[in-house]
Amino acid sequence: MKKTIFSLTAALIVLTTAVFGAHMYVGENNTNVSETENGVKAEKETTAETGTKTNALVAYFSCTGTTEQIAEYISSGTSADLYEIIAADPYTDEDLDYTDSSSRTTKEQNNSSARPEISGLVEDMDQYDIVFIGYPIWHGQAPRIISTFLESYDFSGKTIVPFCTSHSSGIGSSDTNLHSLCSDSTAWIDGRRFASGTSGDEVMEWVNSLNLDISEVKTVGEFDFESKTVLLNSGYEMPIMGLGTYSLSDEECAVSIAALLEARGRLIDTAYMYHNEAAVGKAVRESDVPREEIFVITKLYPNQYDSAAEAIDEALEKMGLDYIDMMLLHHPGTNDVEAYKAMEQAVADGKIRSIGLSNWYVEELTEFLPQVTITPALVQNEIHPYYQENDVIPFIQSLGIVVQGWYPFGGRGYTAELLSDETISAIAAIHDVTSAQVILRWNLQKGVVVIPGSSNPDHIRENLDLFGFELTNEEMEQINALDRNEKHDWY
C-alpha cells in the first residue's frame, strides 16, 4: 500500500491536543472552533471522523477582524487549515494610531529591519504546498510581523498567495517586497486587495481563478470510505477490511486469499502461531495483484521475543516477501519491549513498514509506550458486540493509533449466537443485508478495522460488501447496548 508523506510533528501536535485537550472559544460566526497552542484553528470535531484537510494553509495577521474574515472565507471555501499570526506583544489601540509618528506601528513600518516577535509556530509547515498569507496595509506596506513570518520558515518549493485588506490602498509594492524575502524556488502568485465587506463569493471567485492544485490530505486514523483505507501514523495506508487466516490450513489459505483478492480485498492477517505464513506469502506472490497493493500483517509470538531479529528474518524468508507491511507483537510477554525494539530496527532497515501490538489494553499501553521509540501504528484486540472495549478503543485512537478487531463474530463456539442475535438480525432485515455485514459495518463506523476469518469464498465476498448501506445512530446505539463485557479468549 502507498505511503503518504506528512509531518510527524504535525501528528504529534494533533495527538497532544487529542489527549490533553484544546483551548475552546466561539468564533465570530458562532462556530465552535479549537485553537491549539500553535495558533492553528480548526472546526471542532463532533465525531470520530475528521473533516477534510488539504495541502493548503491560510496564514493571516489581523487586528480589526477584516483580514480575519477574508482568511476564513478562503479557509472555508478550500478546506485549508487556518493559522493566525499573533504578535507576542499584542498591538493596542494606541499602537495602531497611524497619525502618531511615535506610535509603535509607525516606528516599525519606518524600520525595514523591524521584526516583531510572533507567538507560536506552524509546527507542520512541511505538509503544506500552498500558503495564503493575509495582512492589512499599514503605511502602504505589509506589517513587519509578516516579514517575521516569512523569514521563520523555508518556503522553498511552495506556492505563496498573498492577499491584503485596506480601505483604499491596493496591494502595491508590499507584494513585491515580501516576495524578496523568500527563496528563488518559491512560486509567488500576484496578490489581491479586498475591502471591508467583501463577500465570500467574491473572495472564492478570485481563489478559483488562480487554478491552484489544492488537494485533499488524509488525516491519520481517519477512515476513507471511498478508497476503503485508513492512513496510519507510519505514513502508509491500510485497507479497513480484509481476511483473518487464523486456523486456515495451507490449502484453505490459498483458496481464501484468491477469493479475497478477486473481490478486491487487499488486507491479509496471519501470524507465526497460525503456521500458515508460508502459504500466505505464496498466495501473495502468485497472485496477479501487484505486491504494493496488498497489505500483509503477521505477528511475533512471545516464544520468539528473545531472538526477535532472527524471527523477523525468518518470517520474511518463510513468506518469500521483500518486506512485511505490518508486524505486531502477538501479546504481552517476557522481553516484549526488546522484541519491539528489534521491530523498530527492522523498520529502519526496510524489512518492515509499520509495527504495532496485539492484545494490549489501557494499562499495558500506558506502561509499554514510554519504553519504545516508534508509536505503534496499530493495536489489534478482540472486539465484537458482546465485548466492545468502549473504554479501550477511544483511548487507543486518541494516541493516533488505529484499532483493528479480531473475532468480530465472537469466535468459534460463539458465532452462531451472535449472528442470530435478535437485535442484529432485525437491523440486518431492515437493510436487506446479513447479520455478519451489520456487525462488520458497526465496527467500521466505530473506526475499527475488521479482519473476519473464513474459508468460504461466498462469505469472504460478502464480508467485503459493506458500503452499500449505513447504520443509523439509533441502530449503532442498539448494538452498543448488547455489550456484555464477555471476552471469548484469554489474551
Query: Does residue 407 come out as left (phi exceeding 0), alpha (psi in the -120 to 50 range) or beta?
Result: left
Helices 435-445 and 457-464 cross at an angle (nearest 10°) of 40
Handedness of CA 225, 230, 236, 238 (dihedral sign): negative
Q: Report the length, in residues, of the chain.
A: 491
SS3 state of residue 347: helix
Handedness of CA 47, 355, 233, 214 (dihedral sign): negative
Is 361 a residue of the active site? no
Are residues 220 and 14 in contact, defined by beta-carbon separation less than 8 angstroms?
yes
Task: For residue 36, give the nearest of 57, 16, 11, 50 by alpha carbon.
Answer: 16
The x, y and z cell numbers of residue 106, run together, are 509607525
Counts for the chain of helices (H) and strands (E), in that order: 17, 24
Catalytic residue among 60, 274, 305, 387: 274
Q: How many CB atoms lie within 10 A of CB 291?
A: 13
74 Cβ neighbours under 8 A, 6+ residues apart: 58, 80, 132, 134, 163, 203, 204, 207
Helices 277-286 and 250-262 cross at an angle (nearest 10°) of 40
Cell numbers 507491511: residue: 325
Are residues 408 and 441 in contact, defined by beta-carbon separation less than 8 angstroms?
no
Q: Active-site residue numbers?
A: 274
